[in-house]
Chains A and B, each alone.
Chain A
Amino acid sequence: MIGVLQFPGSCDERDAVLACERVDEARLVWHREAELGDLAAVVIPGGFSYGDYLRAGAIARFAPAMEAVREFAAAGRPVLGICNGFQVLCEAGLLPGALLPNAGLRFVCRQVEVEVERTDTAATAACQRGDRLSIPVKHLSGRWFAPPQALAELEESGRIVFRYAAGENPNGSVADVAGMANERGNVVGLMPHPEHAVDPLTGSADGLKLFESLVRSAAPAAV
C-alpha cells in the first residue's frame, strides 16, 4: 500500500493514487494523520498546499503528516515528492536546494524530456542509466537552485537523479537539475509529473517506471 499525502490545496493527489494503483494498492493520507503505519512508500503530490501564498511548500512542511514523513524517511523507507511535493521536501530540509520562481516568471505546462542519472534511488531502481523519459512539467516555481559550492558537492556525491535533456530546461534550473535524492537515495523529489505519464493515451507511459521503482525499493523493507 502506497500512501499519497493530501493537504488542503493539493491538486494531483488523485492522479498520484491512480498512478500508484497501476503498480500497487494506494490510499490518500490526510494532512493531519500523524502515523503512516506500514505503508510501503509515500508520495507527496503536486498542487498548491495551503494555497502556497507564502512560498511554495513553506506551510505544508509543518503538517503533522510531514512529521510522520520525516520519521518514515529517517527509517530509510521510500519517499517521492512530485512538484509541490519536491518543494515541500526542500522546505522541510529532507532534500537540498530550493525551488525559485521560473526564470520566465510564468507558469509553464509542457511535455519535456528528462534523463535519468542514477538508478540506485527509491524512484529510479526500475530505470536504466541514461533513460530518456517524456514527462510533463507544470509549475510556477520550479527553478532548482543551490549556491555554486553546494552544487559542486552535490554533483560530486551524485545526488542529482534527473536532469532536463539538452534544450529542454523549462524553468532555468541550475545545471538543468530536474530532480534530487537525499544521501541515502530513499527520498527523491522532482519537478516533472510522472503521475501524468503513466498511460500512452494521455501522452506517455514513461513515468510508470518511477512508481515501479518505489514498489521495488519498498520490497526489502517489508521482508
Chain B
Amino acid sequence: MTVSETRHRELGLTDAEFERIVTLLGRAPNDVELAMFSLLWSEHCAYKHSRKLLRRLPTEGARVLLGPGENAGAVSIGDGWAVAFKVESHNHPSAVEPFQGAATGVGGILRDVFALGARPIAVLDSLRFGELESERSRYLFDRVVAGIGHYGNSIGVPTVGGEVYFEAPYEHNCLVNAMCVGLARAEATIRSAAAGPGNAIVLMGASTGRDGIGGASVLASAELEHGEEKRPSVQIGDPFEEAKLLECCLELLDRGLLVALQDLGAAGLTSSAGEMASKGGVGIDIDVERVPLREADMEPFEVMVSESQERMLAVVEPQRLDEVIALCERWETGAAVIGEVTGSGDFRVLRDGEVIGEMPVGALVDGCPLYDLAPAEPESWIYGNREPEPTTDPGGAGSGAEEAGATLLALLASPSIASKRWAFEQYDSVVLSHTVRRPEAVDAAVLHLHEADATIAVAIDGNGRRVACEPYAGTIEAVLECAQNLACSGAEPLGLTNCLNFGNPEKPHVAWQLDRSTQGLADACAALGVPVVGGNVSLYNETEEGPIYPTPVVGMVGELPDPTRAGGLAAGDGDAIAVCGPFSPSLAGSELAKIRGELGPGLPSLPIAALSAAIALVRDAVRSGLTTAAHDVSDGGLACALAEMAIAGEIGLEVDLDPLVELRGCSGETCLFGEGAGGFVLAGSRASLEALADAGIDLVLVGAAGGDRIVISAAEAEIAVALADAARAWRSLGERLEAVPVP
C-alpha cells in the first residue's frame, strides 16, 4: 500500500473498516471525508465495542423523560420540573494535561446538560489516581482538583460531591469522570434532532482553532502511550466563554427561538452536525469558509474535526435569525450561520459553495460496524499485590487492642478512605443556594430546589478494586452503594447514569470484565427498579503497564419529601448506635486486604432482594426523623464507618459487635474491617432505634455515643483509640499533600 492508502490506519481505522467506507460511498473517501469517518467511527463516538452490551440495561421508568441517546438523561421531579444528568469521562486528556483535561471535562458535561435547556445546578466528580506515594499521582491529583475548581467555580455551578481512590493500576492512566445535574421545566427540554429543510445552522460561542484535533480517535480511543507527545490533542478551557454561552443558550431556549440545540464535544462539528442530522432524518450542509476561525490557514478537515471548546450548534428558522443573533450579541458570544438543514439525507461539506465532501448521514453516523467481544476470564489475579509493610511493632505481638487500634488508624489515614476535605474545599459547593448537605455532611449531597419546591440527593460511586476482584458482584455493589448513600440522606433513586471505564476491549480478559460488569449493572438496576437514563463508555484505559482496574462509575439522582429531614453523618452525644442490613463482612477485596498485599479474585455473592428491602427501610427511617445519623458501611468496614460518624459528631463511642460476630459467624477482625454491600450504621435515641427494630428492620443495637474515645470490641479484636487520634488520621490527607511540594 502507498502512504495515502495507509492513511486510514494512522487515523485509527482498520483495513476492514476502510473497505466498508469505500463500499458505503461507492468510491474511496477524500481526505476531508476520511478524517470525518475516522472520528465518528472511533470507539469514543461509535461505541463499537460496547453498544451491543449496553442494550442489556433497563432504561424504562415512570419518571423517565429522556433516556439514553439524548445529550443527557432526564427524570421528572413533579410539578412539571425535570432533572437532567449525565456522567462523562475525560481520562486521557487529564493524564496528558491534568489541569486543562479536568477543566474541559467539566466544561463538556455542562454543555451536555444545558444543550437540553436545563440550567446546570451541580457537578460531582469521580477520580482515580495511582498511589499517593507516587510523585506523578500527587501532581495529577493536585492539578485535576485545581482544574475542576477552575472551571466549576468560575462558571458558578457548585461541585457538591464526588469520590477519589488511589490505586496502583491508575498510575499511568488516571480517571477523571465528571457528572452534571441540571434543572429544567419538563415541557421546555429540547431535543437535538435537526428538522426543517431550509432552517439555518448556527454555530455559537468560541471561534474554532486547531486545539483538540483528533482527540476522540488519537487520544480517547487508543491505549495511552507517549502521553507527552499527545499534549497538542488536549483542548484548552475558557469558563468565561462558556458562562456567557450558557446564559445565552438558556435565554434563547426560554424565548423559544431554537428548533434544536447540540453541544460540540468529541469530533467537533462532524459529530455534532452528523448526530443532529441523523436524529432528524435530514441532510445538512456546512460551509467551512463561514466558520469563524482562530487561525487563518486551517484545512477544511481541521475545521470539521476541531475540538475547540465552548461551542454549541443550533438549528434556527430563518425568520428568527435576527433575534437569535441580537441575543448572542447582548451576551457577547459569537454566532455565525455556517450552513443549513437540507432534505437530501447527505452530510455535505462546502468551501465557498464548492462541495468538498459528501457522505450519506446514515453511513457516517450509523454505518460503523459493531463488534462482538471475545471475553475470556483470566486464569489468575492480573493486578499484582503490594509488598506487605514490615510490622510496626518490632517488640513482638502486641495486645489485641493495640493491633486492631493501629489497623483502624492506618485505614482511616489510607488516602482512599481519609477525608477529602483538601480537595472539596477547593470547590464552590454553595453557589445557586440549593445546597442543604455539603460534601462529607452525609453520604450524598442534598439540594433543595427552591424554584421547583423539590429536594433531590445526588451521589456518585464505584470501587474498581472490588470490580477487579469480581466484575459482576463488584458492579452490583457499586449500584447498591450509590442507592445506600442516597438512603442515608433519605432519598429514593429516580434514575442512574454511568461511565464504564475499562481497558482495551479487544483483549479477552478486559472483554470479560466489561461483559460481566455490564450484566451486573443491568441486573442491579432491574432489581432496584432504577432506570439507566444515560451514560458514557471509556475504553482503552491502559498502558504498556497493563489495564486499569475495571471501573464502572454510577451516578444517581434521588428525591426526598422534606429537606428539613435530610439525613446526616454526625453521631450525637448519648445516641444509641445500631448496625442494620443484610451485611456479611468479608476481607476479600477490602482496603485491609490491599494494605496486607492479599488481593485476589472473588467476592461473596449478594442477596440483592434483601439488600433492596434494607435500603428502603433505612430511607424511611431517615425520612421519618427516627435517626440522627445514618452511614453506609463501605471502605474500611464497620470500624471505619463508626469512626467517621464519631469524628463528624466530635463525640466518642463505645460499641460491642459480639452479637454481629455471632450472627454472621465471622472473626472479630473480619467484623471490624470486612467490606461488602448492604450494611448501615444508624444513630438515634434508643427508643427510636428500638421502634425501628419493632417495625421489622433487621437491626442490632451495639452501643452508644459518648466520651472522647472510640472503643469497639468484636470477639478477639478490640479497638480503643482516642477520638482525637482517629480524627487526626482521617484528616491527614491535606498535610501529606502540602508536606511534599508538587513538582
Contact = CB atoms under 8 A, between A and B. Distances in A.
A47 B240 contact: no
Contact of A108 (B156, B332, B426, B450): B426
B430 A14 contact: no
Interface in B427-467: 427-436, 438, 448, 450
B207 interface: no
A109 B564 contact: no
B154 interface: yes
Contact of A11 (B156, B332, B450): B156
A177 B740 CA distance: 30
Given A48-B240, A51-B238, A136-B430, A107 B153 contact: yes
Contacts, number: 89
Given A8-B244, A136-B430, A202 B154 contact: no
Nearest to A32: B330
Contact of B243 (A8, A46, A202, A203): A8
Nearest to B247: A8
A138 B432 contact: no
B118 to A, nearest CB: 16
B690 to A, nearest CB: 30
Interface string B236-249: 00111101100100
A193 interface: yes
A206 interface: no
B240 A51 contact: yes
Interface residues of A, number: 30
B92 to A, nearest CB: 25
B326 to A, nearest CB: 14
Q: Is the interface of A mostly helix, strand, loop or mixed?
A: mixed
B146 interface: yes
Interface in B123-148: 146
A107 B149 contact: yes
Interface string B200-234: 00000000000000000000000000000000000
A87 to B, nearest CB: 14
Contacts of A202: 430, 433-436, 448
B676 interface: no
B289 interface: no
A106 B432 contact: no
B433 A15 contact: yes
A210 B79 CA distance: 34
A112 to B, nearest CB: 11
B430 A9 contact: no
Interface in A34-86: 46-48, 50-53
B155 interface: yes
A51 B426 contact: no
**Most chain A CB inside 10 Å of its own CB: which residue of B155, B426, B433, B563:** B433
Nearest to B450: A18
Given A48-B240, A53-B240, A107-B426, 17 more contacts: A9-B240, A11-B428, A46-B431, A47-B156, A48-B154, A50-B240, A51-B243, A108-B425, A109-B424, A109-B426, A110-B425, A138-B431, A193-B430, A195-B433, A196-B431, A196-B433, A203-B430
- Please list the 3 inter-chain residue pairs (A to B) with the smallest Cβ-Cβ separation, ordered nearest first: A11-B156, A51-B240, A48-B154
28 contacts: A8-B243, A8-B331, A9-B243, A11-B154, A11-B156, A11-B243, A11-B428, A11-B431, A46-B431, A47-B156, A48-B153, A48-B154, A51-B239, A52-B240, A53-B240, A106-B426, A107-B149, A107-B150, A107-B427, A109-B424, A109-B429, A110-B425, A138-B428, A140-B153, A193-B430, A196-B430, A201-B563, A203-B430
